[in-house]
Structure formats: C-alpha cells, structure tokens
Amino acid sequence: MLKALIFDVDGTLADTEMAHLSAFNLAFAELGLNWQWDLPLYTQLLQVSGGKERIKAWWYSQADRPQVLEAAAMDQTIDRIHELKTAAYEQAVQDGQVQMRPGVLALLSAAADAGLLLAIATTTSPVNIAALLRRAIGADWRYHFAVIEDASTAPRKKPDPMVYRQTLEHLRLPASACLAFEDSGNGLKAALGAGLATVVTPNQFTLDHDFSGALKILPSLDGVSPAMIKAWHGDAAQALRH
C-alpha cells in the first residue's frame, strides 16, 4: 500500500535552475573571476549534481585553469564561490524569482489530506529548500514533511541512491510503500537505485535526459490527484509481481 511520496526539489517542486545559474554567475563576478556560464553550457553542466561538484567538474574541464592550485586551495575557492552563490540564490527566491511548478502545491496538500506522508530527497543545500518552501508554503513549511534529506545529510550526490536510501530509512518504510518524483536523469537513477517507482516531470533543462525505467513521464503534476498516484503505484506493484 502507498504510504509516502518523496519529492526532489530542484526542477521538480519548482523551476529553480535559471535562478541557480544567475547565482553562480553573480558569485563568479563577485570574486572577480571572469567566468560566465550560459544556458547551453549550464544545461550540460547539470549532468553533475550538486553546486560545488558542478563548479569543480567545469574547472577541471578548462584547459587553461590555474595549475598552481593544489586540491585544498581549489576546494577552498569552490567553498567561497558556493557560499556567495547560495546567498545570491536565497535572495533571488526571496525576491520571487523562482516559481513552484504547476500542480505541485495542490498535490502536496491533497496528498497530506489523503493521509500520505510527504518527504524530500534532494542534493541541494538546506537553506535553498527553506527559502523556497517558506515562501511557497509558509513559516511552518517544515511540519508538512516527515523526512528531509539534502546535501547536508547525504554527501554522495545523485545518481548515487544515498539520499533516497536515507529517506526511506528515516521514513521507516520499504521502497515498495513509496513513490518518488523527479525531473532529471540523475535523479531518476538515484530513485531507481533505491528501488523506488518514480514519476518524472522533465523541464526545459532535462528534456533530453534518459528516463528509462520511469513509472510515468508527465509534462507536469498539474491535475494529478492522490487517487491517480495510488492507481499508478498499484500498477507498479503489480508489474513487480509478474
């Protein structure tokens, strides 16, 4: 029986990546680095989950990167960039530059009314989740979620299933009693790796990703009800039995 819904944040609950991209560029400029990421580049870079990991992967890909930097110095610079980026992102959210995706708030509320537990499994930083959901849900947003796992609790980023495994552990539920909601190939791999049937709602950044193994691929969660989700979950359970 379906007991809990587990949601990714970036790209699934809200269209966050344009704001993340602007925040990265603001942080680069603030530190006097002449780095600027454009939309096509950022779309590619999103194949690396996690802001710090994304900066590092890009930095290593640059032929003319400063060779003097030892690993520790590089990590320190990345930490500083990421700190500024996180502050810029939080400000953008507070300024109303990030919108929840269609149908998300209605589904969260209807699912809770239907007795389903809600959880979050994301690679993003905890302050980013708080900024987004405080604005969208209200000051008591945290009470709506039974479990929240994020970059501070699950250091191995998606596609590693760590964040989903920990979410299940803290929900004290088997994967078969839950459904995951994702927007990206890495997110889907992480959820599938934890044994979760997964509904995918791609967005402009993830349209080309590989969604093999998804339970459903939908343009958005608009109009999706707990009854529909329970029926899909039933189909997934039946498919597993055969």
Length of the chain: 242
Q: Look at residue 50 and give the partner it binds from ligand XBP, Mg ion, none, a contact being a CB closer than 5 to 8 Å depending on partner kind.
A: ligand XBP
Binding of Mg ion by 183 (CB under 5 A)? yes
Q: Which is nearer to Mg ion, 8 or 149 (CB)?
A: 8
Q: Look at residue 25 and give the partner it binds from Mg ion, ligand XBP, none, a contact being a CB closer than 5 to 8 Å depending on partner kind.
A: none
The sign one gets for the Cα dihedral 40, 66, 22, 76 is positive
CA-nearest of 140, 146, 127 to 20 is 127
β 178-182/99-100 pair status: unpaired
Binding of Mg ion by 90 (CB under 5 A)? no
Cβ-Cβ contacts under 8 Å for 155 (sequence gap 6 or more): 162
Binding of Mg ion by 51 (CB under 5 A)? no
Q: Look at residue 20 and give the partner it binds from Mg ion, ligand XBP, none, a contact being a CB closer than 5 to 8 Å depending on partner kind.
A: ligand XBP
CB of 81 to ligand XBP, least distance (A): 10
Chain centroid offset of residue 13 CA: 8
List residues binding ligand XBP (CB under 6 A): 8-11, 20, 49-51, 122-125, 128, 151, 158, 184, 186-187
DSSP-assigned letters across all residues of 104-129: HHHHHHHHHHTT-EEEEE-SS-HHHH
Among 2, 4, 11, 164, binds Mg ion (CB under 5 A): 11
Binding footprint of Mg ion, residue count (CB under 5 A): 6
Cβ-Cβ contacts under 8 Å for 193 (sequence gap 6 or more): 159, 160, 161, 164
Q: Which is nearer to Mg ion, 35 or 50 (CB)?
A: 50
Q: Which is nearer to ligand XBP, 22 or 225 (CB)?
A: 22
Q: Which residues are catalytic?
A: 8, 10
In the β-sheet with 216-217, what is the strand arrangement from edge to edge? 147-149, 117-121, 4-7, 178-182, 197-200, 216-217
Q: Which is nearer to ligand XBP, 103 or 185 (CB)?
A: 185
Provide the mask over 141-180, with x wherever binding to Mg ion is found by CB under 5 A and - wherever it is not.
Answer: ----------------------------------------
Please tell me whether residue 1 adopts helix, strand or coil conformation. Answer: coil
